[in-house]
Structure formats: C-alpha cells, structure tokens
Amino acid sequence: MDEWTGEPQAASLLTERVGWAVALTTGMVSGLLAAHWNADDVAALNSGRDGEGRRLPSNAWMALRRLGWTVEPSEGTCVNDRIVRMAQEQAGRTLRCAQWRSELVAGVLGTWPADPSRRTADEWVRVRAAVPGGQHLPSGVINGRTRQIAAFLKSNGRLPADVFELEGEPRAARMLLLSACDGQQATIERADVPDRALLRLQLPTRPDPRSYREWTWVACPVVLPPTVPAGAVLHLPTLRPDQGRVRVDLAYTHAVPRAARAGHTVALGVDWGLNTLLSCGSARLHGDGRIVPSGAGAMFRAAGVLAKQHRLRRLGERLQAKSDRYRQLIGGDEQHALTARHGVLNNEIRQVGARRSSLNEALARAAARWAVDQAIAAGASVIYLEDLRSMEARGMGRTHNTRLAQTVRGRIADRMRHLAAETGIAVVTVPPRNTSRHCPRCLTPLRHRKAPDAPTVPGWKWALCPGCGWQGDRDQGAWQRIAARGLAHQAETATDRTTGTMAIRTIVDGLEEGAVVTPAVTGRIPLPDRSKNGPTRPTRPAPRRRRTPSPARPSAPAGQRPEGHAHTDRFRLPRAAARNQGVTTIGPPSSGPRPGDRAAGRHRPRGAALGAGFHLHAHATPPRWEPLLEPDTLVRLGITRPI
C-alpha cells in the first residue's frame, strides 16, 4: 500500500517500482566498478588503512567514502543518500572479493609451469607456496585458474598481467541491499500474525525521479517461511526482481547451540556419489575404542533431477555454439539480419542457465535437509563428509566426466552446515583417500564387482573383501569408513577462524589403524544342547496316529496331515532357488500363470502375472504378524477380487 495516497498497490506495480530503484543503483554500481577495477585500488581497499593510516570501517560503503570513492546518479535524477549507500556497499563488496582472486592469479603467474596441462611435484610445491593459503587449497581451484590463463595465452600470444586483464569488470547484480540503509529508507517489523512481517521502504514513482516528492513510502507485507523461528530478530532484507515478482532474501538472528569440535560418540558418515547422490549411516564410539555401525544406512537418490540437469546442460551447450556462430557471422554489424535472432538466442541461453541454477539450489536444499534429518534421527552430534573440492573427473568419458564435474557438492555442504548449526550439530570434512577402496572392517584393499549375483563380472558397485570376507555396496562401505575415520581423528579437527568451518586435514597412521568398524553383535537365542549323552529312544511310546491313507503326492504346500512321515512341504524347490542371490536381490518371477502352479507350490510374486510393473515384483517376506491372504483371492493395486 502506498502510504502517501493510501491506495493499495498491485503486485505488478510494486515490481515495476522496485525495478526502477534497482536500475538507479545498478547504474551507480557499474560506474564505481569501471572506475576502480584495477590492482592499485583493490589493494588499497583491502589493506585496511586509508591514506592517513587510519583503520577502514568494516562496512564497505563507509570504507569507500573514507577513501573518497564517491558516485553520483545520472544528470537530472534525484536520489537520497541511502540509495547511494546501497550502490557503494554493493560495489565495495565486489571489489573486496577481487583481492583473493588477484593474489591467486599472481601466484599462478609467478610460478607458471613448463607444461600447463600437468605440473610436476616441485611445481606444485612452488605454486602452493606462492598462493595465499595454498597448503590446504584444493588443487582443482589452481588447475581452473591455470586453464583460464592458458586460454588467454593461446588467444593473445602472451600471459596476462593480472586478474584485471584476465577478467573484465564484473556485471552489477540487480538487487537492493537494504542492509546498508537505516530507518530513513527502510524498516521491518513483525506483524500481529506470527508468519507475517511488514516491510516499509521508499520507492520512486517514476523511472527518473526529479525531486524527493517522487519518492513515497510503500508498506509491503512479507510472508515468513516456517523455518524462521518465532523469536528470531529480523534484519533488513535484500530485494531482487525475478520474473515479474519481488523476491526477499531475509536475514534473521536467533540463538543456537554451539557445535563441539571433539568429544563425539555418535557420528553420521556421508559419502558422495553420482546417481546415488548421498549415502549415509551412523556409527557409535564405545568406551573401549570400538566403533560399531548403527543399522544398514540410507541412500538419497536423485537420478531423475541429475538426468534433467544433464539434458539442460547439453541444450545450453548447443545454444552457446549456435550463438558463437551467429556472432562470427554478424562480425560487429548491428544492422545485420541475424542480430535480432542472436539477441533472442542469448535470452534463451540465460533462461536455460537460470533453470539449471534453480534445479541445483532445490537439489542442494533437499539433500542437505535429508542428511541433517538423518543425523537428528540417529542422535548424532557430528556429520563427517568427504572433502572432494579437489576431485577432477578424468579418463571416464566425456559424458561421465562432465556429470561428475558439475555436481552440486559445494552447495550441499554449505547448506548442510547452515541447517546443522541450528541444532548444534558439527559438520566436519575428512580426507577422502581410500574411503571406497579399503574394507571398513580390516582396511584391506577391496575387490569390486558389478553386482552380488555376478561375483565374477568386473564392475565397481559391489565390494568384496579378500581378507575378512565382508561384502556390501561400495557406498555403504564408504560411509562406514568416513564415520570411523572422523571418530578416530576427531582430536585433529581444525577450525577456520574466518569462515568457522571444521576440517580434518591430515591422516595420522596411528589413528588410522584404529579407524575400523566392528560389526554389531546380534542378540540371538542360544540353541539347546543336543549332544547325545544318554539314550535317544523316548521312554514314552509315540501317540497312535490316525489311520488315514497317505496321498500319492502332496496336492498343496499345506493340507490334511497324511499318515506316517510323508513330507508335507513343497516337493521341489522353485526355479530361482539355485541362483546365487544375496539378501537384497530377487530373481525374476516365473513366466505367466499355468494350471497347477499354485497347487505345485511354485514361487509367484503377487501381481506379477497381471503386469503390475517393477514395484510389485520387488517384495519382501511378510512379517509373522501379517495375516496371509486366502488362496482364492488375488491382490492387484490394493483391489481384492475372487479369481
């Protein structure tokens, strides 16, 4: 609602007015970045001192003003000082982020290798010493910058001077950083309803306001998601126009338990995968040093979402190749016949990229929420996951390499840390070396096969230990190794002072020897002693049996009790019984129903004869307390009807 006129504002009008304010700030941000995108200015901003030696403020807009980096709106446009603050804050944050990239590129250029595609061991030592924090920096980051510089060298015939020549000035994001303002520009407070908040801010009434009268206060109700606690303190959000609506990135503060660095007894191990994105399970550390797994673990499968992501990636690559060809044909001629089609194609490329980003964000939220819920259900106080930031997919084919390289492991880990911090659960990364290669019980190198029912076919999914005889899914063994390694090395956990992330960076041989999983002891009932220490013939005579003649052959698995010791069960085993099957496998059902199948006692899954599909074929033995169906009924899709 517009507070000046008292009239309600439509959503389309509100989006338009926010877009006008975003356009004003974006223009000033672009001007600041173009004027100060150089090595000297970025170094001066990140030095922490101004020209007189005074300490620069932590707020980016105040630091820019201390350095004298001002900006003015376009001529004839009237904006207040808070709009300028938002532009300076956004530009200052971008320039501060460029310092780390500048030092990284400078370190790579200073130790440029003889062969950029493959560094030697000595060259790796030199580049890590030249890069800030290079000792624990993932190798994939250094390799990525090396490939970027190599592409510049190939196209220009020389190495770039710095990152500012290697990369152009960044594009200003379309958003309003209301956190840089005060109550004279925007306020937020909770409404009477717990899930509502009221945001008040000044917005222009036209694209180019000429006076302060053309800025009016607008009251916007904000719907709070259920994840925001009722007692949380709300902060001024960031507004982003998106597809005809205004998105609110709301920050809030509330008290959470402190996550412990060590002293954990129950941990959740998480293993990364491709089709099976996450595999996890809990393990318990006992007082005598034994590490025992709790249950068989669980899996988070996202094959459908990853397949759609792969299709969108291929579509984006084809569109980008077509756009590059259009640009070659146009050759800088704005009056060319393909200029309009080139613009439409670029817009489609941006939409495909936005769709991929949306899928990645949704997948990261779902996977992280699932993993944290598994930890809460298991009562774990820490989550150990592999540190795969330096993993690079090579030698597995173009499609497989690309799918591995474009997974969202970083986003899932960040989201997992955020969700786990709300419940006081620590998230610690561990080195991934040999987590899927060695046996979780005896640390012997595993032999990998295709499936449990194909022990001689080479593959990678099923693992067998030649030492202790353990076998199981490769990912299930990996999460046990990760949880055991984390619990054994928890005293070596280090915390980053700047980011607060926890990590186990090195493996100690003495601790790794104790990072083995002991199988849980099942409480089986001991069998009675049947040793022959006395006479085996009973002293009491056997009861007199009914004088009923025995049938020629059993007519059913169960029926009238015959005379004597005639076998009452099925007279032969089903066809699938002779196959090599594990506890989680099932052979294909027999062919269609034939007369006498039920009487002969053959195995036939319910619903298989009706073509019900895979899910009715995958079945388990019914529990003892579940009543069996009558032999004269057939169940399909929950409907019972007589045969």
Phi, psi at residue 229, to the nearest 5°?
-65, 155
Count of Cβ atoms closer than 10 Å to residue 253 Cβ: 10
pLDDT of residue 598: 45
Same domain, 158 and 233: no
Q: What is the mean pLDDT of residues 270-283?
A: 87
pLDDT tier, 614 (very low <50, low <70, confident <90, very high otherwise)? very low
Whether the CB-CB separation of 434 and 270 falls below 8 Å is answered with no
pLDDT at 589 over 80: no
User: Does the residue 529 lie in any domain?
Assistant: no
pLDDT of residue 352: 92
In angstroms, rounded to a whole number, what is the distance separating the alpha carbons of residues 145 and 140? 9
Whether the CB-CB separation of 176 and 239 falls below 8 Å is answered with yes
**How many domains does the chain contain in total?**
4
Closest alpha carbon to 218 in 239, 200, 204? 200
User: In this predicted model, which residue has the larger pLDDT, 165 or 574?
Assistant: 165
pLDDT digits (tens, 9 = 90+) for 423-467: 999 999 998 888 888 999 999 999 888 888 777 788 878 888 988
User: Does the residue 116 lie in any domain?
Assistant: yes
Same domain, 404 and 489: yes
3-state DSSP of 345-363: HHHHHHHHHHHHHHHHHHH
Phi, psi at residue 607, to the nearest 5°?
95, -10
pLDDT digits (tens, 9 = 90+) for 27-44: 999 999 999 999 999 999
User: Does the residue 6 lie in any domain?
Assistant: no
Same domain, 208 and 290: no
Percent with pLDDT over 90 in the chain? 47
Mean pLDDT computed over every residue of the chain: 81
Among the ranges given (251-255, 301-305, 338-342, 591-595), the one the predictor scored with the smallest mean pLDDT: 591-595
Question: In this structure, what token pair is assigned to residue 107?
Answer: 């370190």
User: Does the residue 190 lie in any domain?
Assistant: yes
pLDDT digits (tens, 9 = 90+) for 499-556: 889 999 888 888 888 888 888 766 566 667 677 777 766 666 655 555 555 555 555 5
Same domain, 50 and 80: yes
In angstroms, rounded to a whole number, what is the distance separating the alpha carbons of residues 544 and 283? 57
Helix%, strand%, coil% for the chain, nearest 5: 35, 15, 45
Question: In this structure, what token pair is assigned to residue 586?
Answer: 């099932």
pLDDT tier, 638 (very low <50, low <70, confident <90, very high otherwise)? very low
Give long-range contacts, CB 8 A cutoff, 24+ apart: 497-504: 501/417, 501/427, 501/429, 502/259, 502/261, 502/426, 502/427, 502/428, 502/429, 503/136, 503/387, 503/428, 503/429, 503/430, 504/428, 504/429, 504/430, 504/431
Same domain, 434 and 508: yes
pLDDT tier, 76 (very low <50, low <70, confident <90, very high otherwise)? confident
Final residue of a structural domain among 457, 489, 513? 513
Give the domain extent around 637: 584-643
User: Does the residue 629 lie in any domain?
Assistant: yes
Residue 635's H or E segment, with its range, is: strand 633-636
Question: DSSP labels for 502-522?
Answer: EE-----HHHHHT--BPPPPP
Closest alpha carbon to 277 in 313, 306, 312, 308? 306
Name the residue type at position 173: A
Percent with pLDDT over 70 in the chain? 79
In angstroms, rounded to a whole number, what is the distance separating the alpha carbons of residues 195 and 225? 7
Per the rule left: phi > 0, alpha: psi between -120 and 50, beta: everything else, 52 is alpha
Give the CATH number for residue 402: 3.30.420.140
Residue 28's H or E segment, with its range, is: helix 11-36
User: Does the residue 482 lie in any domain?
Assistant: yes
Q: Which of 146-150, 296-300, 402-406, 431-435 has the highest mean pLDDT?
A: 146-150
Same domain, 437 and 289: yes
The pTM for the full model equals 0.72
Same domain, 83 and 208: no
Same domain, 505 and 460: yes
Final residue of a structural domain among 513, 532, 553? 513
Same domain, 193 and 235: yes
Give the CATH number for residue 218: 2.60.40
Whether the CB-CB separation of 515 and 291 falls below 8 Å is answered with yes
User: Does the residue 313 lie in any domain?
Assistant: no
- Helix/strand/coil for 207: coil
Question: DSSP labels for 275-315?
Answer: SEEEEEEEEEE-TTS-EEEEEEEEEEE-HHHHHHHHHHHHH
pLDDT tier, 7 (very low <50, low <70, confident <90, very high otherwise)? confident
Among the ranges given (83-87, 103-107, 594-598), the one the predictor scored with the smallest mean pLDDT: 594-598
Final residue of a structural domain among 513, 544, 564? 513
In angstroms, rounded to a whole number, what is the distance separating the alpha carbons of residues 491 and 497? 17
Same domain, 67 and 144: yes
User: How far, CA to CA in Å, does 332 sit from each of 127, 155, 323, 335, 344?
Assistant: 40, 19, 13, 9, 17
Whether the CB-CB separation of 447 and 468 falls below 8 Å is answered with no
pLDDT of residue 448: 86
Spatial CB neighbours of 81, under 8 Å, sequence gap ≥ 6: none
Same domain, 247 and 369: no
pLDDT at 620 over 60: no
Question: In this structure, what token pair is assigned to residue 140?
Answer: 């994939």
Question: In this structure, what token pair is assigned to residue 502?
Answer: 């926890």
Among the ranges given (256-260, 289-293, 406-410, 420-424), the one the predictor scored with the smallest mean pLDDT: 406-410
- Helix/strand/coil for 216: strand
In angstroms, rounded to a whole number, what is the distance separating the alpha carbons of residues 371 and 416? 7
Among the ranges given (302-306, 404-408, 519-523, 602-606), the one the predictor scored with the smallest mean pLDDT: 602-606
Same domain, 34 and 131: yes
pLDDT digits (tens, 9 = 90+) for 327-341: 999 988 888 888 999
Question: DSSP labels for 426-441?
Answer: EEEEE--TTTTTB-TT
Residue with structure tokens 């439409």?
Answer: 344
User: Does the residue 571 lie in any domain?
Assistant: no
> Residue 373's beta-bridge partner residues?
none
pLDDT at 20 over 90: yes
